[in-house]
Amino acid sequence: MGRPPCCDKANVKKGPWTPEEDAKLLAYTSTHGTGNWTSVPQRAGLKRCGKSCRLRYTNYLRPNLKHENFTQEEEELIVTLHAMLGSRWSLIANQLPGRTDNDVKNYWNTKLSKKLRQRGIDPITHRPIADLMQSIGTLAIRPPPAAGAAPPPCLPVFHDAPYFAALQHQHQQQQVVTHVDADAPASPDSQHLQLNWSDFLADDAAGHGADAPAPQAALGQYQEGSAPAATAVVGGGRAFGDVDGASAGVGAGTDDGAGAASAFIDAILDCDKEMGVDQLIAEMLADPAYYGGGGGSSSSELGWGC
């Protein structure tokens, strides 16, 4: 019947770690590795929960961790990846050697999100706040969508760079908002790419016009050399950038756009399995066209380079 409890929760210490505890944990992990965290506290002589030990090790004691400030390049990468992945901090941190998901998350919450707001960009959707306000205003006077129609534009923004690239010809002269230069003045006149679930589903509802690339095609484009993209269309699924499916208002599995949405999601998940997300991200980042405004523009051309 199950496993024994990992630790006596009434007897474990909480709160900040002391140098002595750090030394014990480090000494143990350096000689024995980090195989089974539940046994680590006892073996290392610590009155801590294994979970706490793991956290302390991965966020602070692990070798090769960077403890200095984030560089401009790291900052840019975080914003770009957040625009593509949402708050999947572990995936983002994987692209930043020496940084932990906690580091990235804290840095985002304390610095980068504020910078984006100062620039008039919503840090959640990466869309200009003015446009969001306009959407809200439009939504307020918009009649309920007819059955089978695309959902209202209040759904979470879908920031998938490869898909952006595939739809670029539909959104010429626009670009993904990734500029975070807090010193530069906000540019309300600049045009930004504003693709979101609504765009995606609306495209699907329109049957992908003869010259409109299907999302599957977009996936196939960036999945070249891998397994066939989007072979399954299954109900349900999770929003991209929403690992737990906990974000409000997605509704991708219930409305009539669910087929396209879930197919796209499944394809993303297929990618995860087939080629590994890390590799995928690396490929996307290696090709500026994925997140550029077309014509292979680089991140610096998007305003990153200061």
Binding stretches for DNA (CB under 7 A): 1-7, 13-17, 35-38, 50-52, 54-56, 59-60, 67, 69, 87-91, 101-103, 105-107, 109-111, 114, 243-244
Nearest CB to DNA, comparing residues 38 and 221: 38
For residue 128, the cross-strand partners are 121
DSSP states along 224-244: TTSSPS-----S----TT-TT
Rg (CA), the chain: 22
Nearest CB to DNA, comparing residues 11 and 69: 69
Residue 34 C-beta: closest distance to DNA, Å? 8
Nearest CB to DNA, comparing residues 49 and 229: 49
Q: Residue 34: name the closest of 15, 21, 53, 49 by CA.
A: 53
Structure tokens at 251: 């509704």
Q: What angle do CA 138, 139, 142 make, to 5 degrees?
A: 85
Residue 42 C-beta: closest distance to DNA, Å? 11
How far is CA 41 from each of CA 10, 52, 59, 109, rounded to the nearest angstrom? Answer: 14, 9, 17, 31
Residue 80 C-beta: closest distance to DNA, Å? 16
Residue 61 C-beta: closest distance to DNA, Å? 9
Report the distance separating Cα 213 and Cα 166, nearest Å: 6
Nearest CB to DNA, comparing residues 103 and 131: 103
Q: Phi first, then psi: give them for residue 159, nearest 5 degrees.
A: -105, 85
Cα 131 vs. chain centroid, distance in angstroms? 21
Residue 86 C-beta: closest distance to DNA, Å? 8
Residue 194 C-beta: closest distance to DNA, Å? 22
Nearest CB to DNA, comparing residues 179 and 238: 238
Nearest CB to DNA, comparing residues 25 and 289: 25
Structure tokens at 204: 């699907």
